[in-house]
Amino acid sequence: MLEGAELYFNADHGYLEGLVRGCKAGLLTQRDYSNLVQCETLEDLKIHLQTTDYGNFLANQTNPLTVSIIDTEMRKKLCREFEYFRNHSLEPLSTFFTYMTCSYMIDNVILLMNGALQKKSVKEILVKCHPLGRFTEMEAVNIAETPSDLFNAILVETPLAPFFQDCMSENTLDELNIEILRNKLYKSYIEAFYKFCKNHGDVTAEIMCPILEFEADRRAFIITLNSFGTELSKEDRETLYPTCGKLYPEGLRLLAQAEDFEQMKRVADHYGVYKPLFEAVGDGSGGKTLEDVFYEREVQMNVLAFNRQFHYGVFYAYTKLKEQEMRNVVWIAECISQRHRTKINSYIPIL
Amino acid sequence: MGSLFRSEEVVLVQLFLPTAAAYACVSQLGELGLVEFRDLNASVSAFQRRFVVDVRRCEELEKTFAFLQEEVRQAGLALPLPEGVLPAPLPRDLLRIQEETDRLAQELRDVRGNQQALRAQLHQLQLHSAVLGQGHGPPLAASHTDGPLERRPLLQSPGGPHQDLRVNFVAGAVEPHKAAALERLLWRACRGFLIASFREMQQQLEDPVTGEPATWMTFLISYWGEQIGRKIHKITDCFHCHVFPFVEQEEARRTALQQLQQQSLELQEVLGETERFLSQVLGRVQRLLPPWQVQIRKMKAVYLALNQCSVSTTHKCLIAEAWCATRDLPTLQQALQGSSSEAGVSAVVHRIPCRDMPPTLIRTNRFTASFQGIVDAYGVGRYQEVNPAPYTIITFPFLFAVMFGDVGHGLLMFLFALAMVLAENRPAVKTAQNEIWRTFFGGRYLLLLMGLFSVYTGFIYNECFSCATAVFPSGWSVAAMANQSGWSDAFLAQQPLLSLDPNVTGVFLGPYPFGIDPVWSLAVNHLSFLNSFKMKMSVILGVTHMTFGVVLGVFNHVHFGQWHRLLLETLPELVFLLGLFGYLVFLVAYKWLRVTAAGAASAPSILIHFINMFLFSSSPTNRPLFSGQEVVQPTLVVLALAMVPVLLLGTPLFLCREHRRCHSRRSPQPDKDTARLLDLPDTSLASQGSDEEKAGCPGDQAEAEFVLSEVFMHQAIHTIEFCLGCISNTASYLRLWALSLAHAQLSQVLWAMVLRAGLSLGGEMGVAAVVLVPVFAAFAVMTVAILLVMEGLSAFLHALRLHWVEFQNKFYSGTGYKLSPFTFAVEGE
C-alpha cells in the first residue's frame, strides 16, 4: 500500500468502518451490565437485553429460555453482522475477513475430529461449531484418518490449506495428535495473519501487529501451562509456539524449559508487558485466573484499536469485543440459571 | 383569551384509582386522550414494576400475533384494517383472546407442518423419479456416449482383473451450488475408485420450505469396494444429498418410476386438500387478527401507563399523577366516575400544586395546525407564553408574498392549494404515503394563503408572469408631453429614449389607483424606480414587524406579572428601536408625502441625513427635511443610547433589590453586609447570601437559586443581542427586496427569452403555431419548476427565517415541551 492510505480508505471501506463503529457503540455498557446482574430469571435478562442493541433477538423463541439458546442466538446475530461486513467488503479487507474466520474454522475442524474420535454423531457436534467458522466441506472432516488425508481430501480448497503445510504427517489422529495439530495449525495461521498485516502496512499494521503479537504470546503461555504434566516433550512444545510474538526468540526458548507456573512467571517477568499481568493473577482460592487477565488485556487492546481511523483492526477488534460480550452475557446467564450469584460479577467489563 | 393566543392552563392532577377500576379508568382515559401521565416509578427498573406480568402476557400474545401475521403475509394475503370502535379488552376477555389465538396458532402450525411435510415428501418423490428417469442404464455402459463421464477416460476400462468385481451404485440428488464441490471431494477422497455422473434435472423443483424454484443436480456414482462405499455415503451425507436406492435392472427401475409417479399424483391430491384447509384457517386469521391486534396493543398501553402509577399504602388504590388541561377537568371527572361506577368505589381527581413547569397545550384545527407547526419547529413555547402562531397566519404568507409577488404565479399556487383543500376529505388523498406529497398536503392552508397574498402583492407590483396589466388608465400621458415639448417626427425617429417630465402640466395626472403604474414596465429606469420602492418598503415592513414583536413581549410580562420588565426592558427596547429605525421609517414616509416632483432636483437625501444623525453633524448641501430636524435627531440618538445602560443594568439591579428585600424580611441582617452586597456585585458574596437563604427558607427553591452574576450575564447577552440585532435585523429584512427583485428578474428573463421569443417568430401562421407548442411547453415547465417550486421554496425559507430569527427573538423563548397525552389514537390521523 502506498503512503497516506487515509486518502482513499474511505472510498473502499469507509461505509463498513462507519458501520462497525456504529455497531461498537451498541456494545453493552457498564450500566447494562449492572442491570443484567440484578436479573432474577433468564426472562428478566431477556427483557433487559431487549432494551439494548440486541433488540428482540429472542422474540421468536417459543420454548423456555435456556443459556444455550441465548448463546446461539447471540452468535447468530454476530454472524449476521459479520456476514454483512464480509459480503460488502473489497480486497484486501475481504482477505482480512477470511483470515479472521480461519481461527474459527480451525476450532471447528478440531472439534469435529475430536467428535469423530469419540464416535459422536456429526449433527451433535455441528451444533457446537462456531457459525463464523462454517464451511461446506466441514462435515466430511471425519472421513479423514491421517492429517495428510485430511489435507488432501477435504481442506485443500479451504483457506486453511496453506497452514497445513507444516503439519502433514502420517500419524494417526489420536487425542494428543489432534491437540498438536490444532496448535500447529494455529501457529502457522497466526504467523500468516501477522505477515499479512505487516505487509499491509499503514495503521492496520500498527494496530493489528501488537494485537496478534499478544495473541501469539498468549498462546505460548497457555500451551506451556497446559503441557505441564503431559507427555509432550519440551522440544515438541517449542515447535508449537507461534513465533511472531514479543517472546520470540529468547522468551520462547526459556518458556520451553519451564516446568511449572513459577518458572513461567519468571519468564514473563523479563517482559514489561506481561509482568503486571502475571502479578494480577490471584493465587488458587480467590482472584483472577490467568485466562481472565489475558482476556482483560485483550479487551483493552481491542478497545484502543477504535482510537485510530482508517485501518482494518476495528473489524477484528469489534468481533473480539462482541465475543467477549457474549461470553459475559453467557456467564451472567449461567450464574442466574444455576443460582450461583456469588461469582456473577466476575465478568470482564468492556470499557 | 382563546387558546391560540397562549397555551392553555394545564394543572397537575392526582388520580386515585381504585384497584378494581384502575384498568377501566385508564383505558377510558386512553380513548379520550386527555392526560399525560408522569412516571412515578422512574427509579424502578422495567421488570420490577407492578404490572410487568400483564405486560409480558400482552407481549406473548403479540409474539403469537406476529407469527400469525407472518403466515398470512407469506400466503400472499393482506390483513384488512380493523373497523369500528375497539375498546381495550377486559382482563377476562384477554383469556378468551389468548385461548383463541393459541388455538388458531396451533391449528395453523399443524396445518403448515402437514403441508410442509407433504411438500417435502413430494419433493423427495420428484427427486427420486428424476434420478431414476435420468440414469437410464448402468453408467458404465452409457459412459461411452455421455459427455460428463469422458473426463475420466482412464477409469473407463479399469482392466481385466476388476471386471468381475461387483459394481455398486449410489444415486441421488444434490443442490446445484454444491454439486461441483461434491464432485471434487468425491474425486479427492476416493482417488478415482468411482465414476460419478452429474446431470441437471430437466424441470425446476420448488423448495419445500422457501418455495423457491431450483434446478437440482442428479448424480449416479458407481464404485467398487465396501470401504469406498462407506466413504461415499459419508460424503453424500455431509453434503445433505438425497440418496435413493438404485436398482440395476432397467425393468425394475421403470416399474419403480411408475409407482413413484402414481404416489406423487396421490400426494398432490392430498396436498391440494391440505392447502384448501390452510387457506380456510388463514381466512379466519385474516378476519380475527386485526381487531385483536388493536385491542392487545391498547391493553399493553394501559398496563404500561398503570406501571407509572404508585401504589397507595393501603393497597386499595393506585395513585397516578398526570397533567391535564383545566378545561378538560370536568370531562376527566366524568370519565373517571363513569368507568369506576361498576367497582362501587369512585375514582377521585384532585389538583395538586406543582413547581415544575407544566407542558404546553395549544389546540389546533386543520387550518391553524400548519402555522403552529412553523412556530413549534423553532421551539415549543414556554407554558403560557404568547404564542406567535396567530400572527404568523397573516404575516408569514404576507412576507412570503412580498418576495413572491406575481399575480400569475400566485394564482397558480392558490389554485393548487385550493385543489388540495377541496380534495382533503377524499380517502385516496388522505392515505397517500408519498413523503413530499404529504409535506405539501400538510401545508395546504398555508399554501392557500401564500398564493392569495402573492396575487395581492402581484397586483401591487403590477406583474403577471412579469407583464404589467393596465386595469386602470395610466397616470402618465405621453401625448401631453409630446404636445408640450413639440417633438417633431424627425426628433422622435432619432431618439431611442424619450423622457417624460412630470413637471410639465398634463404629463403626470396623479398616482395610479392601485399598485405600480403600468407605464413603468416600459421605462428603462423601471428597475431603479422599483429598487428604491422595494428597499424602503422592506425597511418599513421590517421595523413594523420587529416593533410588533417587542410589543407582544408586553403581554408576556403582564401575564407573568413581571411589571418591572415593562419599564426596564420593553420601554427601553421600544425607545431604542423606534428612536433610531422608527425615525428612519418616518423620514421615508415624510419624504414620500412632502417632496413633490417639482422639488425633485433639490430633494434631500435620507441616507445622508441618517448617517449625519449618528455623526451629530450636518452637511450643507443636504437640505433639511423639516424644520427642527437639527434638534430632533441628536435628541433621538442620545435618548436611544441612554436606553442601553437602562436595558443592561435595570433588570439585574431590580432583581437584586427585590432579592435583598425579601431576604432581609425573612432574616434581618446587618445593613452593612447588604450594602456591600449591592456595591460589590461579587459572586462569592451573592452565593454566600443565597446559601444562607437556603438555610433560612429551604422551601423557596426559586429564590434561593438567585445568582447575581448569572443574571447580569444573561441580561448583558440580551442587551447586546437586541441592540446589535436592531441594526442587523433591519438589514436582514432587505432580503425581502432582494428576493422579490430576483423573482421579478427571473420571471422577466423567462418571459423575454422563451415565450416572447417564440411569439415574435412571426412568419406564416402555421409555422408559428407549430413552434409555439414546444416553446410554451418549455415556458410552462420552467415557470413551474424554477419560479414556482424553486423560488417558492427559497422565499418560504427566507420568510421562515424572518419569523424565527428577526421576529420571534424579540419575545419568544420557545423552551417549553408539548403535552403529549396518553391516547390510543394512531399518530398521523
Mutate to test the interface with A, among B102, B188, B300 (most CBs of A within 10 A): B188
Which residues of chain A are within 8 Å of residue B63 when distances are taken between CB atoms? 59-60, 62
Judged against a pLDDT cut of 90, whether residue A318 lies above it is answered with yes
Whether the bond between A276 and the residue before it is cis, its omega within 30 degrees of 0, is no
Judged against a pLDDT cut of 90, whether residue B457 lies above it is answered with yes
Whether residue A142 contacts residue B258, with contact meaning beta carbons closer than 8 Å, is answered with no
* Amino acid, single-letter form, for residue B788: L
Residue A142 to residue B234, Cβ atoms within 8 A: yes
Mutate to test the interface with B, among A46, A51, A123, A143 (most CBs of B within 10 A): A143
Question: B700: which 3 cell numbers?
Answer: 423557596
Element counts in chain A: helices (H) and strands (E): 15, 0
d(CA A230, CA A228): 6
Whether residue B291 contacts residue B64, with contact meaning beta carbons closer than 8 Å, is answered with no
Please report the ipTM that was assigned to this predicted complex: 0.70
Residue A153 to residue B188, Cβ atoms within 8 A: yes
> Phi, psi at residue B309, to the nearest 5°?
-85, 155
DSSP B325: E
Which residues of chain A are within 8 Å of residue B46 when distances are taken between CB atoms? 47-48, 51
What band does A171 get if pLDDT is binned at 50, 70 and 90?
Answer: low
DSSP for B142-157, written as a single string: HTTT-TGGGG-GGGTS
Distance of CA A144 to the CA centre of its chain: 26
| C-alpha distance from B106 to closest chain A C-alpha (Å) | 12
Q: Could you tell me the residue ranges of all domains in chain A?
A: 4-338
Residue B238 to residue A122, Cβ atoms within 8 A: yes
Structure pTM?
Answer: 0.68
Residue B56 to residue A43, Cβ atoms within 8 A: yes
Residue B466 three-state SS: coil
Query: What does the pLDDT look like over A179-222, one tens digit per residue?
Result: 888 888 888 899 999 999 998 888 888 889 999 999 999 988 88
Judged against a pLDDT cut of 90, whether residue B447 lies above it is answered with yes
* Amino acid, single-letter form, for residue A69: I
| C-alpha distance from B35 to closest chain A C-alpha (Å) | 26
| C-alpha distance from A57 to closest chain B C-alpha (Å) | 12
Q: Which of residues B539 and B71 earns the better pLDDT score?
A: B539
Query: What does the pLDDT look like over B108-163, one tens digit per residue?
Result: 888 888 888 888 888 888 888 877 776 544 444 443 334 444 444 444 444 444 44
Question: B243: which 3 cell numbers?
Answer: 440418496
The full set of domains in chain B, from first to last, is 10-108+275-351 (no CATH), 127-135+166-269 (3.30.70.120), 367-475+510-659+708-810 (no CATH), 476-509 (no CATH)
| C-alpha distance from B74 to closest chain A C-alpha (Å) | 16
Lowest mean pLDDT among A21-35, A63-77, A187-201, B484-498: B484-498
| C-alpha distance from A40 to closest chain B C-alpha (Å) | 10
Give me the pLDDT at residue B150, please.
41
Query: What does the pLDDT look like over B432-442, one tens digit per residue?
Result: 778 888 888 88
State the average pLDDT over residues A13-28.
90
Residue B189 to residue A143, Cβ atoms within 8 A: yes
How many residue contacts between A and B have a Cβ separation below 8 Å? 49
d(CA B394, CA B449): 8
What band does B705 get if pLDDT is binned at 50, 70 and 90?
Answer: low
Residue B47 to residue A137, Cβ atoms within 8 A: no
Interface check B237 vs A, CB under 8 A: yes
| C-alpha distance from B48 to closest chain A C-alpha (Å) | 9
Interface check B44 vs A, CB under 8 A: no
Judged against a pLDDT cut of 80, whether residue B205 lies above it is answered with no
Judged against a pLDDT cut of 50, whether residue B681 lies above it is answered with no
Interface check B189 vs A, CB under 8 A: yes
Give me the pLDDT at residue B688, please.
39
Give me the pLDDT at residue B271, please.
86
Interface check B45 vs A, CB under 8 A: yes
Helices in A56-201 by DSSP H: which ranges?
Answer: 67-87, 93-117, 122-126, 147-149, 175-200
Which residues of chain B are within 8 Å of residue A153 when distances are taken between CB atoms? 185, 188-189
Residue B47 to residue A142, Cβ atoms within 8 A: no
Residue A157 to residue B56, Cβ atoms within 8 A: no
Residue B46 to residue A59, Cβ atoms within 8 A: no
